[in-house]
Amino acid sequence: MADDRFRWHHEVEDVDTIKGMMAISTSLYPDKAAYKVKEKKGAPYKEITYTQFKEDVDGLGTYLVESGLQGKKIGIIGANCYEWVVAYFAVICGVGVVVPLDKELSSEEIANLSERACLSAVFYTGKYDKAFEGLDIERKFNMSVYEDSANADVPGHILNAVKEGRRMVSEGVTSYTGIEVDPNALAALLFTSGTTGIPKGVMLSNRNITFASLAASRCVHLKDDDVTLSVLPIHHTFECTMDILTVYSQGACVAFCEGLKYVQKNMAEAGVSILVAVPLIVESLYTKIMKQVKKQKKERALKALIVLNRNLMALGIDRRRSLFRSIYKNFGGKLRLFIVGAASLDPVAMRGLMDLGFDIAQGYGLTETAPLISGTPEKLRHDIYIKAGSCGPEVPYGKITVEDPDEDGIGEFAYEGPNVMLGYYEMPEETAKVIKDGKFYTGDLGFKDEEGWVYITGRSKNVIVTKTGKNIYPEELEVLVNSLPMVTDCMVYGKEEEDGRDMIVAAQILPDDEYIKENISENMTEEELFDMFKEEVHKINMTLPDYKRIRNIMLRKEDFIRTTTKKIKRQENL
């Protein structure tokens, strides 16, 4: 049972469908900006109100129903944009089953998943039109606006469908708006990118998704003027649920990013106060801040300000904006909160950013749980700082148990709650492997402390088991190696000794070339570079039990193969 201080931190109105959520938000915030969009690259942001958004959704939904697509599976693929969100809401609020597809997929993978899902229609941006050529799909809608503005004037563009549907609604057509959505029926089909294996189709209901979104709202309360920047892949449940839906349910605003190289520019233009991000992005921002401080030789001054800030915060005095004004200015001046998920955030970066006055909300979840199952309580800032490395307690009305714990209390996390998926699409045997007696077995290993806070130690599939039966968690060692300033990232794994007598620990390391050139040497030979890393790993090894020590290292010249949420695909990198 989660801590009551967390469980009842924010009261939210219970709702079990996204259509119900939309009705509540529109009635509460009719004239507020729901989204900030650009009609073309480089243009200023334009605001779209909650009322305008609902009218667009109802218009598109009506057009789709009147086109014979009710009850069908409809795909969406492409860049993060307002049109993507309109299509998603329209389909999931009454038309049929929405199938968000990863825009990083190859044409062959897109075709394969489209056929597996039996898509009847698809919405796409830009270049993806060619991926659907020759496929048996009834209707195709182009969502591009400023990518190819000419498309807005031809049949098959989403803007024309919205316009025609709005006309139908104005004439009294209620074939879509009158639909009562079943909260427990299949509403979304998401194919996991995963780090291993064949993509599985995760089947989620409206109840699954809305529960996860409202759980997030109970963890983090947004302010009336909060604006987030949609950066992460929108097809992924972390971005879609934790950013798009949670922000919408609380009456805040989402601005759409023009691209990764425009993040800081767009943050300033849109007045972004919250960034929903994966750890790699947040850790990179922290590293850049500290590099700049070091370059300006202001480390001592910064430490003094951090101590002053801690003392003031302990007295309930918040002077963060003035104390760290120059740092905030780099992000547009309004950034106050990072919402982090998809992997564990480095505790050093977490505490470092909190010392600089930023708030951190970290959660843990999976696609199969839509995704949130635990989160750090907003008001327990001191606890979050002390417990950096934890993903917080379980969400309200959910329950996490540690199954078959070892002598250290580490076992597999199992979760039960209203957001557990319906199952894997057309894979009953795979479903039976992970859902048992109402519990979803996550495949993640870890423990809970005495207050119920969750700590993840690794994936059960990644555990290295020695011939003597010792369990080694790669993620635990990766944290140590990644703490080295000359390391960009690493992957720890098991490797059989040449004689096959035992399993040893190996590591692939991606050096931080920029750091090495600026702080160590500009002209290191490959041999010198290897010897340096060998020595640094040796220092780490001296702090570890013998069986956990890294015996083999390899330096990478190129980045790891990754998922779209920047997780390393372990099998593909071996």
Domains of the chain (ranges, CATH numbers): 17-182+234-243 (3.40.50.980), 274-460 (3.40.50.12780), 463-573 (3.30.300.30)
Paired residues of 493 in beta bridges = 506
Q: What is the DSSP string of 402-447?
A: EES--TTS-EEEEEESTTS-SEETT-HHHHHHHEETTEEEEEEEEE
Contacts of 347 by beta carbon, 8 Å cutoff, 6+ apart: 388, 389
pLDDT score of 155? 56
- 86 Cα distance to chain centroid: 20
Both tokens assigned to 321: 């904006």
Give the position of tokens 């290295």. 464
**Cα–Cα distance for residue pair 409/411, rounded to 1 Å:** 6
**Cα–Cα distance for residue pair 394/373, rounded to 1 Å:** 6
- Sign of dihedral through CA atoms 202, 203, 208, 213? positive
pLDDT score of 163? 95
pLDDT score of 124? 95
pTM: 0.84
Question: Cα–Cα distances in Å, from 145 out to 85, 153, 175, 229?
Answer: 14, 10, 28, 19
Mean pLDDT per 10-residue run, the chain (574 residues)? 45 85 96 94 94 98 97 96 97 98 88 94 89 90 67 69 97 97 98 66 97 90 93 92 95 93 92 91 87 87 91 86 88 91 82 90 93 87 84 91 90 96 96 95 93 87 72 83 91 81 88 91 90 94 87 93 80 81
* Cis ω before 371 (30° cut-off from 0): yes
Question: Cα–Cα distances in Å, from 554 out to 506, 539, 569, 571, 574?
Answer: 8, 17, 17, 16, 11
Please list the alpha-helical segments (H only) found in 103-143.
107-117
